[in-house]
Structure formats: structure tokens, C-alpha cells
């Protein structure tokens, strides 16, 4: 095994609390497998991977780019549409780089963070990657660790990679065109070329 996996059989209860009063319904919560792994990449760079949480106010103060934290427009019907489409995938831990100054940067999970931000979540759960840089490549994460991490995740109700075309009815892999990283992403069926509604359309 590459590295060391700690807390192999332990669980953690996230206790998500959302403070936005306009939320209509939230998905059922679940416990996570605790992950704390140290290893070395194929480029012989040491890294540490740990499941952790952070108060959302800290993230808001650390993230200065409008691509990470776009200004909320208060479209709460749209927010509930996002929740409905993402559903249990909302609780999938976000991947973040733990920077040398102990602040965080998002590696993967921008949509989840934007939705959690709109919902005014008390905390955000994430996999923190401690390394000299997050683009370290060649992870070599042990199979058992990956299995536990997969158990922590759930698929969205409507995915952005595969789906059923509303025009031709065929299962398709979407062709995605991004016109604006924050607000305008469009999905096209590779079978018939029809545009399909993006699962999380528009600004919140």
C-alpha cells in the first residue's frame, strides 16, 4: 500500500445546518467514512488527504474571486431547483487544496459550494489535500481508501455527463458548451444535437 490510511472503520456525522429560510426541502443526511491518508504521488511528492470541515464564513473571506463566490441574486426558486437536481450529491465532500498559509482553494466542487453558499450552510465538508501544490498528479491512492471515498459520494438526480435527451429520448453523453463559467452552461445531445436544460441553470 502507498502511504497510510488512518481511521479505517470510523464514521463521522456531518450535521449539516442550513440557515436560508427559503429552502423547501433538503436531502436526507448520511454519515461519512472518515478519511485520513498520507502518501506519495508518482512524481514522488508527499501529500496528505483528510476529510474535514470548515465554517462557511471562513471560506467566504478566503475566496475573493466572483467565479468561486458569485454575488447571490436571491433567486430562491432557482436555488430549490438546484437542490432538487443535485439532491444527495449536495453532501459529497468538496476537494480543496490546503495552502501553506492554511487557507483553502477549491480543486473540485464549485457547483456544490455555490449551492451551499446560497443555502447558507453553517459548515462545508471537504477533502483537504496538503501538498506543495494541488496539481501534483499521479495520486496513487490505495484501493481501500478510494472505496471508502466512493461510499461517501452519491450521484446527482440529473447528471452533467450522461443523461436521457428530452428531444430524442436516447441515453447520451452530453456535449457541454460553456459560455460563462458562472451562469451560462449548455448541454447538447450527441445523438440528435438538441439542446437540453442544464441541471443547475443560471445564477443563484
- pLDDT recorded at residue 133: 65
CA nearest 93: which of 160, 149, 11? 149
- pLDDT recorded at residue 5: 47
C-alpha cell at 179: 459560455
Output 29-36 pairs: Cβ under 8 A, ≥24 positions apart.
Answer: 29/91, 30/88, 30/91, 30/154, 32/93, 32/125, 32/152, 33/148, 33/149, 33/151, 33/152, 34/7, 34/10, 35/5, 35/7, 35/127, 35/145, 35/148, 35/149, 35/152, 36/5, 36/6, 36/7
Assess contact for 5 and 144: CB atoms under 8 A. yes
- pLDDT recorded at residue 27: 96
Cα separation, 24 vs 195, in Å, equals 29
- pLDDT recorded at residue 87: 93
Cα separation, 51 vs 166, in Å, equals 38
Assess contact for 45 and 132: CB atoms under 8 A. yes
Q: What number of CA atoms fall less than 13 Å from residue 160's CA on the CB side? A: 15
Cα separation, 9 vs 189, in Å, equals 42
Dihedral of the CA atoms 181, 72, 152, 2 (nearest 10)?
Answer: 50
Residue written as grid cell 451551499:
116
- pLDDT recorded at residue 152: 96
Dihedral of the CA atoms 167, 169, 175, 177 (nearest 10)?
Answer: 30
- pLDDT recorded at residue 180: 66
Please indicate, yes or no, whether the overall pTM of this predicted structure exceeds 0.95: no
- The rounded average pLDDT for each run of 10 residues, N- to C-terminus, in the chain (204 residues) is 53 95 97 90 82 93 78 91 92 91 86 93 94 66 88 87 88 82 77 86 77
The structural domains of the chain, with segments of one domain joined by +, span 4-152, 162-196
- pLDDT recorded at residue 136: 58
Amino acid at each position: 500500500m502507498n502511504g497510510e490510511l488512518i481511521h479505517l472503520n470510523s464514521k463521522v456525522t456531518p450535521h449539516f445546518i442550513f440557515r436560508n429560510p427559503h429552502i423547501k426541502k433538503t436531502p436526507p443526511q448520511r454519515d461519512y467514512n472518515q478519511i485520513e491518508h498520507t502518501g506519495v504521488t508518482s512524481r514522488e511528492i508527499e501529500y496528505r488527504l483528510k476529510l474535514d470541515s470548515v465554517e462557511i464564513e471562513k471560506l467566504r473571506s478566503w475566496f475573493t474571486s466572483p467565479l468561486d463566490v458569485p454575488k447571490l441574486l436571491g433567486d430562491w426558486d432557482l436555488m430549490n431547483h438546484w437542490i432538487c437536481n443535485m439532491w444527495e450529491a449536495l453532501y459529497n465532500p468538496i476537494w480543496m487544496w490546503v495552502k501553506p498559509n492554511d487557507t483553502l482553494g477549491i480543486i473540485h466542487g464549485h457547483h456544490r459550494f455555490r449551492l451551499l453558499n446560497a443555502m447558507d450552510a453553517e459548515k462545508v465538508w471537504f477533502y483537504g489535500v496538503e501538498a506543495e501544490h494541488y496539481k501534483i498528479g499521479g495520486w496513487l491512492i490505495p484501493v481501500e481508501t478510494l472505496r471508502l471515498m466512493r461510499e461517501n459520494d452519491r450521484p446527482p438526480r440529473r447528471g452533467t455527463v450522461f443523461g436521457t435527451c428530452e428531444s430524442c429520448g436516447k441515453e447520451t453523453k452530453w456535449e457541454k458548451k460553456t459560455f460563462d463559467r458562472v451562469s451560462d452552461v449548455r448541454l447538447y445531445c450527441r445523438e440528435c444535437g438538441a439542446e437540453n436544460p442544464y441541471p443547475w441553470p443560471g445564477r443563484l
